Chains A and B, each alone.
Chain A
Amino acid sequence: MRIYESYFSPIYQYIRLRVGDAALAEDIASDVFVKMVIAFKSHTAPRQSLRGWLFKVARNEINVHYGKVKQFPTTTLEEWFPSSDEDAEARYLRSLSSERTRQAISMLAAEQQEVLVLRFGQALDIQATADIMGKSVSAIKSLQFRAVNTLRGILGEGLDHG
C-alpha cells in the first residue's frame, strides 16, 4: 500500500489530464492499480522502474477505454472561447482556467497530450518519457516541440477570435 500512496497522485493526474472526466479517471486508475496488485502476486511486476511501468499500464488502459469509445472526445472551440480580449499571448495563457486548459489539451492528438502531461505535468525526464511512450529521445524532443506549438495554436485561436 505504500506503493499506492506514492504513485497514486502522479498516475491519477496523468489519467485525469488525458481523459478529462474525474469519474472516468478514477475507474481507469482503479484498473491500473488492480493490475499492479495482480502483477505483484504473480511475480510479473517489474523490479525496476515501477513508476514507468504504471504509466505504461495507465496509458494502455486509457487507450483501451477510448478504443471502446472509438475516438477521443473532441471539444468544439466554441465551448471554451474566452470572451475577453487579451493583448499579450503570455498574459492570456496565464489567465486561462484549468478547465479551459484541459479542454484544449483534450483537443490534441493522444501522443501530444501524453508527452506534455508527462514532461510538464509530471516533470518526468526525457528518457523516462521516451521509455514509457516507446519512442526515442530525439522523437520525444520533436514531439514535445510540436505538441506545445499545437496547443498554442489552439489557445491562440481563442486569442485571435477574442
Chain B
Amino acid sequence: MADQRLINAFNDCIDRLANGETIAECLRRYPEYALDLRPMLEAGLLMRRAQSDSNEVLAAKARVRANIMDTLALTPMRRPTPPILRILPLVASLLIVFVFAIVGGSALLSRLNQAEPTPTTEFLSTHTVTPTLTATPTGTPTVTPTSTTTPTASSTPSSTPSPSSTPTETTIALPSTNTPRPSSTPVPTLTHTALPTNAITGCTVPIPAGWVIHRIQAGDTLSSLAVRGSTTVNEIMRVNCLTDARLLVIGQQVYVPPLVPPTQSTGGGTAPQVGGVSGNDNIDASGGGGSSGSSGGGNDNTGSDNGNDNADDHGGSGGGGGSGDDDNDDDD
C-alpha cells in the first residue's frame, strides 16, 4: 500500500504542472518524496508530449466536420417525425374546438332567429328533438330573447316545470342553451346578472348568500332595513360599501338580506317598483316571495326557481350547466 501522503503529493503536483509549474518546482515542495515523484511526473508528462501535433489536429478537425455534415444530412429523416407527432394532438383538439365553436354558434344563431329549436341542434344528440317544449310554458315565448344573451349561466333547473325539462339538458351546446329555456319564463334570466359581487356600486365586498337587491323607498332607513332583514346596520353598510348611513337616496339600490314586509307599506307599495326594475323584482321574489306577490302565482313559481338557479351558480355547483355539458361530451 502506497503512502497516502505520496499519493496526495503526486496529485497535488499534477495540478501544479497543469497550472504551469515545472517538475523541479513541485519537487521542492515535497523534498521527502522527490526521488519517488520525479519519475512519476516525468512519465505523466509523456502523456502530454504524446499528444498529436496541431497540424494533425487541424486536419482531423476539417475532415471530421465534413464527416459530421454528411452524417447529419443523412440522419434528419428520423428527426422530422417527432415534432409533427407532438403537434398533432394539439392541432386535432384545436380543430375539434373550432368545429364545435362554429356549430355551436350556428345553432345559437338559428335559435335566435327561430322561436323553436328545430333540427339544427340534432347533430349534437338524439335527445334534442323536443321542440314541443314551447307548448307547456305560459305562452310567453317570444318575449325573452333579448335578455338571454347576457348571462353566462347555463343552469338548467329553471325550466323544470313539467315536460320542458328534457330539452334543456340535451340541447346545451355551450351558450346556445340559454335561448330555449327563457321562452318558458320571461323573467328569470335577468336575475343572473345581478348576483356576482356588487354590480351596482362597484363595491367588491362579496355579497352574502341569499342577499337581494332592495330599492330604497321613502321611509326606508338602514336601521329599519336591518331590523326587517334580521341583520345590523353595519353589516349592510359593509356589504354595500356604504360610508355614511345618512346618504341613502330614494331609488338607490342596496343589497340586503331577505326582508320581512314592512308593517306600514305592504305588498302594494313594493309591487309597482318591481314592475319598473325587473332585476329588483326577481331578487325580491327569490328572497322572501312575499313582496312580489302582485305578479301572480305563476310568476311566483318561476321567480323562486330562478332564485335557486342563482344560488347554484354562486355555490359553484352549477348543476344544470355542468350536466348539460357532460351530455354533449358523451354524445360526441
Contact = CB atoms under 8 A, between A and B. Distances in A.
Given A17-B51, A102-B50, A148 B61 contact: no
Contact of A29 (B8, B18, B64, B82): B64
B47 A12 contact: no
A109 interface: no
Contacts of A37: 68, 72
A116 interface: yes
A88 to B, nearest CB: 9
Interface residues of A, number: 47
A120 B63 CA distance: 26
The interface size bin for chain B is 35 or more
A90 to B, nearest CB: 5
A4 B15 contact: no
A121 B64 contact: no
6 contacts: A26-B67, A29-B60, A33-B68, A101-B47, A148-B40, A155-B46
B45 interface: yes
Contacts of A41: 79
A50 interface: no
A22 B52 contact: yes
Given A98-B49, A144-B14, A145-B10, A90 B57 contact: no
A148 B40 CA distance: 6
B132 interface: no
Contacts of B61: 5, 8-9, 12
Contact of A38 (B6, B49, B56, B75): B75
Interface in B60-83: 60-61, 63-65, 67-68, 71-72, 75, 79, 82
A16 interface: yes
B39 interface: yes
Contacts of B149: none
Interface SS majority for chain B = helix
Contacts of A125: 15, 18
Interface string B81-94: 01000000000000
Interface in A125-160: 125-126, 141-142, 144-145, 148-149, 151-152, 155
Contacts of A90: 38-39, 42
A120 B72 CA distance: 33
Interface string A74-117: 00000000000000011001101010011011000000000011
Which 6 residue pairs spanning A and B have beta carbons closest together? A123-B18, A120-B47, A101-B50, A30-B67, A120-B44, A121-B47
Interface in A2-57: 4-5, 8-9, 12-13, 16-17, 22, 25-27, 29-30, 33-34, 37-38, 41-42
A65 interface: no
Contact of B43 (A98, A119, A121, A155): A155
B63 A26 contact: yes
Contacts of A42: 82
A38 B38 CA distance: 45
B68 A101 contact: no
